Structure formats: C-alpha cells, structure tokens
Structure 1
C-alpha cells in the first residue's frame, strides 16, 4: 500500500508541477490559445499565476514532507487541497463543455482522495 501511495503522490506531483510551470511562466495570451487552457481568457494574469504557484506548492507538498520525514501530515493536507482545486477545475471545464478534461480532472481528484485517505 505504501508503494502505491508513493507512486500516486509522485504522479500527481508531476501533474501539479507541469500545470504549475505552465500557468506560472507562459503568458496569459498564449495560454488562452492552448486546448484545455481556454478558461484563462476569463481570468486575470495574477489569478492564473496564483493558481500556478498553488500547483507548484502542491507538487512539493505531495512528496517532500513524507520523503524528508518532516511534517508528513502535510501530504494528506496537500492532497485535500488538491481535491478542492480539482472541484474548481471540474466546474470550470464543465461550464466550457470540455467534458474530456472534466473526466481527466475526476481522475486527478480520485488519485488525490486515495492519497488523502491513505496518508491520513
């Protein structure tokens, strides 16, 4: 079970790292032209960067506390925060009719639930 939790956390951290870098370092105008990121057209650049920063923090929080043995309770707390983030993503993509992305976000949410329950 511990190995499955590590794999799930690492994969979700990779997703968070990718999304975080994208939202933090790609200009809003360019993001709005990328499939799946059309939602950024309706948000301010600072809000998008803030989401990117949260995703970068999530990437760290899903792995590092347990790996270092320092405040390992932060892993399930981070996973719970990721669940909230995915609920927002599901609503946002659902409003835009991007149902394939809704399905992807549901999978990410399920992985986060697995991590949160397994690590609490």
Structure 2
C-alpha cells in the first residue's frame, strides 16, 4: 500500500506544487489564460490558495519521506479533497462545465486519503 500511496501522492504533489507556485508568483493577467476564475477572485485569495497548495504538496510528501510524523500526509490529502470540492463548485457557479481535471484531482486526492489512512494510522 505504501507504493500505491507514492504512485498517487507523488504526481499529485508535483501538480499542486506547480499550480500553487503559479498562483503565488504570477500576475492576474498571466494567470487568466489558464484560470478564468481569477477575474472574480481577489488576488490575496488567489495567493492564499496557491500557498495552501504548495504547503499541501509538501505535506503529502515530506512527512512520509522523512518518517517524521508521516500521519500528517492524511490531513494534507483531505485538504486537497476539500479544495477540489470547492474548486468544482466555483467552476460550475461560473458557468464553466470543464471540470474533468477537478474531478480527476478529487478522485486522486480521495484515493490518497484512503491509502494514507491505511498506511499511517
């Protein structure tokens, strides 16, 4: 089960590290082509979401990799489930029906929750 966790958590963490890094560093104009929702969201909120994504990515990987509080991976994965539930709602409320990526990330994070709970109780 540990190997399955890493197969899911590794790419999930890389995705959120990249996406969160973009949200924390890029201007609204540079984010707009990828994320239309930034027009209706204050930039401090966009930056906070980006920071949460980066911290969550670190939480998925660092504790289990170091063996220091590996159970901390569980709340990080739960956080990504909650984030994707909210993101899906934002997209749907904005009339954007392209939520396949959100649903994929949601399913992957939910699987990471299950595996983290099974491996690091």
Q: d(CA) in 1 for partners of 2:72 and 2:6?
A: 14
The count of residues paired between Structure 1 and Structure 2 equals 117
- Which digits, 9 at most, give the CA deviation of each residue in 1:66-89, with x for residues without a partner? 000011111111000111100111
User: 5+ residue gaps in structure 2?
Assistant: none
The offset of 1:18, in angstroms, is 1.1
Q: d(CA) in 2 for partners of 1:75 and 1:91?
A: 25
Q: What TM-score comes out, normalization by structure 2 length? A: 0.91
Q: What TM-score comes out, normalization by structure 1 length? A: 0.92
Pick one of 26, 35, 38 that aligns with 2:36.
38
The offset of 1:5, in angstroms, is 0.9
Are the equivalent residues in 1 in contact too, given 2:38–2:46 (CA < 8 A)? yes
Q: d(CA) in 2 for partners of 1:119 and 1:45?
A: 33
Q: d(CA) in 1 for partners of 2:56 and 2:71?
A: 13
Match of 2:55 in 1: 57
User: 5+ residue gaps in structure 1?
Assistant: none
Moved over 6 A (4+): none
The 5 A counterparts of 1:1-120 are 1-32=1-32, 34-35=33-34, 37-100=35-98, 102-120=99-117
Secondary structure of the 2:112 match is helix
Secondary structure of the 2:38 match is helix
Secondary structure of the 1:30 match is helix
The offset of 1:93, in angstroms, is 1.2
